[in-house]
Amino acid sequence: MLRKEQTVGGAGLDWGKLVFGTRVDTHGFIKHVWRDGQWDEGEMVEEPYVKMHVLANVFHYGQAIFEGQKAFHCKDGKVRIFNDRMNHVRMSRGAERMGMPTMPAEMFQAALTRVVKANLDFVPPYGSGASLYLRPFMVGSGPQLGLGASSEYTFMVVASPVGPYYGSAVPATVVEDYDRAAPMGVGAVKCAGNYAADIVPAARAKKQGFPICLYLDAKEHRYVEEFSTSNFVAITKSNVYLTPDSQSVLDSVTNSCLEKLAADMGLTVERRRIDFDAEVASFKEVGAVGTGVVITVVQSIQQGDKVHNFEQPSEVLTKLYNKLRAIQTGDEPDPHGWMREV
C-alpha cells in the first residue's frame, strides 16, 4: 500500500499498489477565477499550492463545494470521463444553495478535459483497476470579515490517480450520538462541512474496527440516511434495489446510474424512507455507493449490541459493480451515453 508517491511522471507508478489517498504530485491543476460576475479563461497551475487572502470567505465562513469524478483508460486506448454532465448539474444546485456562482456546463467540462489532458500519463492503464480521480471544487476566495457572499470565487480541478477506497467488504456501525445533516440543512449539497462533520465519528468508529459509519435521520433517528462518504443501497430478498428518499442525503451520481443499471437488469428500483429497526434485518445485501467507493459491500451493520449480517458474497451488488466498471473501462457498451472522450 502506497501512502506517498513522487514520480517525474505517472509512468513510474505502481498502479496496483495505489489506494484512495496515496499522494501523487501530478503535472498541475486548472484554476478559474470569478470576479465582477464573470469567470476568467482559466489557467494551468503547476505547483500544488494556491495563494489566497487570509480573509478569504472559505477560511472563515466555509463557502466550499466540490465534486468527485473519475477518468478511465478504456479498452480502445481512449480516455473517457464518467458522467460529468450529472456532476455539473449537482454542483450548480449546490452553488445556488450556498450563494455561489454557477458556470456553464461547457466551462466545467472543458476544465476537466484540460486537467486530464495535462496529466495523461497519470491516467492508470486499462486493466490496472485504478483510475484518475478528478476533484472539481469551488471556494469563496474574496477577502471579507463580515458574513456574506464572497466578492470572488475560485474554481479548481485537481487530478490524482487512485486505487480502491476500502478495498474489500466492510463492517459498518450506526452513529448514535452525532448527526450528519439537519432535515432542512445542507445535507444534499456536496459542501466541505458535511464531510468535516464525519471526521470525529469516523475516526472513533475506525478505532472500534468499523471503517464506515451509517447515519440515521437527525429528527427521529429512525430512518436510514447516508454512510460516511457515500449513499446507502440495499438489495431486498425480493431483489428490489432500495435507497433512501431524504432531502438531506447527497444526490449521488453513482447511485442514480446504478438505479438505471438495476432497472436494466430487471430489478425493481425504489427510493423511499427506510425504517432502520423495522427493515434492516431483512435485507439480503447492503452497499455503500459513490465515486470514491464505487460499490463497497457492507458485510454487517452494528447498532449498540445488535449486529445485522448480510449475504456474502453479495451477488446482486457484485453484478452491478461489474456492469458499471465494464461500462467505465469500455469492456461493454455504454447504453446511457455516460462516457465522454477527452
Instruction: Give the nearest distance from C-beta 14 to ligand COI in angstroms.
Output: 21
Residue 280 or 288 with smaller CB distance to ligand COI: 288
Q: Which residues pair with 244 in a beta bridge?
A: 272
Q: What is the DSSP letter of 15?
A: G
All 3 cell numbers of residue 182? 439537519
**Quick one: 68 or 330, whose CB is closer to ligand COI?**
68
Number of residues counted as binding ligand COI (CB under 6 A): 6
Cα–Cα separations (whole angstroms), residue 98 to 58, 67, 81, 175, 186: 12, 14, 26, 27, 9
Q: What is the DSSP letter of 209?
A: T
Q: Which is nearer to ligand COI, 21 or 42 (CB)?
A: 21
Residue 293: enclosing H or E segment and its boundaries?
none
Nearer to ligand COI, 70 or 114 (CB): 70
Q: Shortest Cβ distance from residue 117 to ligand COI (Å)?
A: 21
Q: 134: which strand partners?
A: 69, 159
Interface characters, 280-299, with ligand COI (x: CB under 6 A): ----------xxx-------
Q: Is 195 in the site for ligand COI (CB under 6 A)?
A: yes
Question: Cβ closer to ligand COI: 68 or 187?
Answer: 68
**Residue type (1 letter), 173:** T
Taking the complex as a whole, the smallest distance from the CB of residue 230 to ligand COI amounts, in Å, to: 6
- What is the CA 40 to chain-centroid distance, rounded? 27
CA distance linking residue 186 with residue 180, whole number of Å: 10
CA-to-CA distance for 259 and 247, rounded, in angstroms?
A: 18
**If you count DSSP H runs as helices and E runs as strands, how many of each does the chain have, helices first?**
8, 20
What does the alpha-carbon distance between residue 229 and residue 320 come to, in Å, rounded to a whole number?
20
The residue among 94 and 290 lying less far from ligand COI, judged by its C-beta, is 290
Closest approach, Cβ 47 to ligand COI, in A, equals 23
Q: Given the complex with ligand COI, which of 63 and 230 has the nearer CB atom?
A: 230
Query: Helix H segments across the chain?
Result: 57-61, 84-97, 105-118, 192-196, 199-207, 253-264, 276-279, 315-328
Give the x-and-dash track for 246-285 against ligand COI (CB under 6 A). ----------------------------------------
Q: From CA 101, how far away is CA 156, in angstroms rounded? A: 14
In the complex, which residue's CB is closest to ligand COI? 68
Among the listed residues 87, 141, 229, 243, the single contact to ligand COI using CB under 6 A: 229
Q: How far is the CB of 261 from ligand COI (least distance, A)?
A: 18
Question: Least separation, in Å, of the C-beta of 337 and ligand COI?
Answer: 21
Residue 69 CB, nearest approach to ligand COI (Å): 7
Binding string, residues 52-71; x marks residues near ligand COI by CB under 6 A? ----------------x---
Give the nearest distance from C-beta 183 to ligand COI in angstroms.
22
What's the helix, strand, coil split of the chain in %, to 5?
25, 30, 45
To ligand COI, the closest distance from the beta carbon of 167 in angstroms equals 14
Is 154 a binding residue for ligand COI by CB under 6 A? The answer is no
Q: Which is nearer to ligand COI, 55 or 196 (CB)?
A: 196
- 248 versus 291: smaller Cβ distance to ligand COI: 291
Burial 6-19 (b: 16+ CB within 10 A, else e): eeeebeebebeebe
Which DSSP string do the residues of 236-289 spell out, in sequence order? Answer: -TT-EEEEE--TTS---HHHHHHHHHHHHTT-EEEEE--BHHHHGGG-SEEEEE
Query: Binding to ligand COI by residue 94, rule CB under 6 A?
Result: no
Residue 119 and residue 27 in contact, taking contact as beta carbons nearer than 8 Å: yes
Q: Which helix or strand (DSSP H or E) is residue 266 part of?
A: none
The binding site for ligand COI (CB under 6 A) comprises 68, 195, 229, 290-292
